Amino acid sequence: MCYFLARMLHASKISDQLKEASTQIIVDGVEIRLVRLPLTEPFETSFGKIDSRLIFLVCLNAGGLKGWGEVVASEKPLYSYETVGTAFHVIKDFLAPAVLDAPVTGLAELTRRFSTFRGHNMAKAGLELAFMDLLAQVNKQSLATLIGGERKRVAVGVSLGIQPTVSQLLKRVERYLGLGYQRIKLKIKPGWDINVVFEVRRLYPEILLSVDANSAYTLADVDHLRKLDDFDLLMIEQPLQSDDIVDHARLQKVLKTSLCLDESIVGQRQAQAALDLESCKIINIKIGRVGGYSEALAIHDLCAARSIPVWCGGMLESGIGRAHNIALASLDGFTLPGDISASSRYFERDLISPEVTLVSDGTVIVPDGVGLGFEVDSSFIERHTETRVYLSRK
């Protein structure tokens, strides 16, 4: 095997391979694919509603191995400025050529290579994810072990979209609590907030309950948002503008409830600033939003050092992105339930096997198999592929 000039180091915690040039992986080709999966029911947030997910897969080929990643961008620039289209362009024209240009010697080196390009974190993360799956396979480790994750199971909650009526929402709350989910997160927006939280809390006084506004309010709504303090919420996620940390600090000062930032934290610098300014008491880490594993691990470490709880956010990922989220959430600092639902919460059929399932205690098992720890169902993917591009080494 001349492809891997691998000199394995046996480090237990965050492996030295991540930091040092101990491995050289020659990537032969980068495949990008768009696969459309229908959702079992529409998902509505303060910024819009979708009925299907255009899943963006990235596959790195190296010496007969395949490393899989997922770009979590949506079709429209609503959650963030990135879209499936921008990520496609940035990967095809800039990031994939950078990966194919020279052997990759480690995660940090790959992150540095990408750092010359500004922004486009979700595109960068898609390739970092695929690289880490590859590296885990080269090392014959699970992804969780590769990054130093020790949890055998991760606690999970469910994110419930805005519904046509409160009674439809209550039915869903009942259903997901019955399945064992440890925390219910309600999507809120003006007109679907205090009244809705009131009804859920009235029926379920004891559950872990949080809300996520996806930036639907401004500081002018402070008196309105203060009403949420009556419901013993675990957190209020991203109430204010998607790039703000200053107004969130002002809001946090007058709220009892913990704020959690999602959209605003696009890297460790923003995390550091938010903690310094006391803009939030909790951080949601999404590997895609922060640009990959390097940044996600750095934010995790930063929060752990300051005793700030973190949890793993979700972007309606297919099983491939979900498998990476499970690995990430196996790290010590992930002390709150993640948005890592079972595959069946979103999809009739997932593109991995076995699918992600929920244990009745509201956890998901961290697989111990090599790489993702799930099989990727290539023929199912092929049947649902809308677009495919293969870029190979010169």
DSSP state of 23: -
Q: Where are the beta strands (DSSP E) in the chain?
A: 29-45, 48-62, 65-71, 153-155, 158-160, 183-187, 208-212, 236-237, 259-261, 282-285, 310-312, 352-353, 363-365, 375-376, 385-392
Q: Looking at 124, 185, 187, 189, which residue is catalytic? A: 187
Q: Rounded to the nearest whole angstrom, what is the least distance from the CB of residue 80 to Mg ion in the complex?
A: 11
Give the nearer residue to Mg ion in terms of CB position, either 57 or 235.
235
Beta strands 236-237 and 259-261, pairing class: parallel
286 belongs to the catalytic site: yes
Beta strands 48-62 and 29-45, pairing class: antiparallel
User: Interface with ligand OSB by CB under 6 A: which residues?
Assistant: 79, 159, 212, 214, 262, 313-316, 339, 341
Q: Rounded to the nearest whole angstrom, what is the least distance from the CB of residue 247 to Mg ion in the complex?
A: 17
Give the nearer residue to Mg ion in terms of CB position, either 113 or 324.
324
107, 144, 341, 366, 375 from 369: Cα distances, Å? 21, 10, 20, 9, 10
User: Interface with Mg ion by CB under 5 A: which residues?
Assistant: 212, 237, 262
Pairwise CA distance, residues 335 & 337, whole Å: 7
Question: How far is it between the farthest Cα atoms of the chain?
Answer: 65
Q: Rounded to the nearest whole angstrom, what is the least distance from the CB of residue 50 to ligand OSB in the complex?
A: 9
Closest residue to bound ligand OSB by CB? 314
Which residues 6+ apart lie within 8 Å of 46 measured at CB?
162, 187, 188, 189, 213, 214, 215, 216
Give the nearer residue to ligand OSB in terms of CB position, either 107 or 329.
329
256 belongs to the catalytic site: no
Q: Rounded to the nearest whole angstrom, what is the least distance from the CB of residue 263 to ligand OSB in the complex?
A: 7
Give the nearer residue to ligand OSB in terms of CB position, either 149 or 313.
313
Q: Which does 79 bind (CB under 5 to 8 A by kind): Mg ion, ligand OSB, none?
A: ligand OSB
216, 282, 368 from 192: Cα distances, Å? 11, 23, 41
Three-state secondary-structure class, residue 358: coil
Q: Rounded to the nearest whole angstrom, what is the least distance from the CB of residue 139 to ligand OSB in the complex?
A: 28
Closest residue to bound Mg ion by CB? 262
Give the nearer residue to ligand OSB in terms of CB position, either 139 or 159.
159
Q: Which does 315 bind (CB under 5 to 8 A by kind): ligand OSB, Mg ion, none?
A: ligand OSB
Q: Which does 314 bind (CB under 5 to 8 A by kind): ligand OSB, Mg ion, none?
A: ligand OSB
Point out the residues that are catalytic: 187, 286
